[in-house]
């Protein structure tokens, strides 16, 4: 089996599965597939991939980008997500500055937002951001 051709499951920690389900299903529009016996919530992603939300204690979230979706038009996706209550982040860091919530990185464009537990999520146009 080759990892380059395998589907993947992205796993993110969440503290409140009901709140997380509302965010990922209702606000982001991901198809909810159910919960397993451990209380992990499963969502479908493209190409057979999956998102699994793991019930965990607070403080287990990463401050780095945990997940990024490649989109055709960052601004169009931002408008749609903002209409669903998503708030985009702004950054002013060495090598990363957003303007109107969008960073331009070597010709690619990206915008970040947080889930209710502080997991950093991204939409990007072009190559995946670092």
Q: Determine the Cα–Cα distance for residues 47 and 26; give it in Å rounded to an integer.
A: 21
Distance CA 77, CA 84 (A): 11
Provide the pLDDT for residue 130.
Answer: 53
pLDDT of residue 120: 94
Element (H, E) at 17: helix 17-21
Residue 123 has pLDDT above 90, yes or no: yes
Contacts of 96 (CB under 8 A, 6+ apart): 103, 105
Q: Residue 128 — very low, low, confident or very high, per pLDDT cuts 50/70/90? A: low
Give the pLDDT confidence score for residue 121 in this predicted structure.
95
pLDDT band at 80; cut points 50, 70, 90: very high
Q: Which pLDDT tens digit goes with each residue over 4-46?
A: 888 888 999 999 999 999 999 999 999 999 999 999 999 999 9
Give the integer Cα–Cα distance in Å for 104 and 126. 10
Q: How many CA within 13 A on the CB side of residue 75?
A: 3
Average pLDDT, the chain: 91
The arithmetic mean of pLDDT across residues 71-79, rounded, is 95
Length of the chain: 130
* Mean pLDDT calculated for residue range 77-83: 96
Looking at the DSSP bridge assignments, the partners of residue 108 are 105
């Amino acid at each position: 089996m080759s990892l380059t051709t395998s589907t993947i499951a992205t796993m993110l920690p969440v503290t409140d599965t009901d709140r997380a389900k509302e965010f990922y299903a209702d606000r982001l529009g991901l198809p909810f597939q159910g919960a397993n016996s451990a209380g992990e919530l499963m969502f479908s992603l493209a190409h057979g991939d999956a998102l699994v939300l793991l019930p965990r204690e607070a403080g287990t979230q990463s401050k780095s980008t945990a997940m990024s979706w490649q989109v055709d038009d960052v601004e169009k996706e931002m408008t749609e997500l903002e209409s669903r209550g998503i708030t985009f982040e702004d950054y002013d860091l060495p090598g990363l500055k957003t303007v109107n919530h969008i960073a331009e990185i070597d010709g690619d464009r990206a915008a970040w937002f947080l889930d209710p537990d502080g997991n950093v999520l991204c939409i990007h146009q072009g190559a995946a951001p670092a």
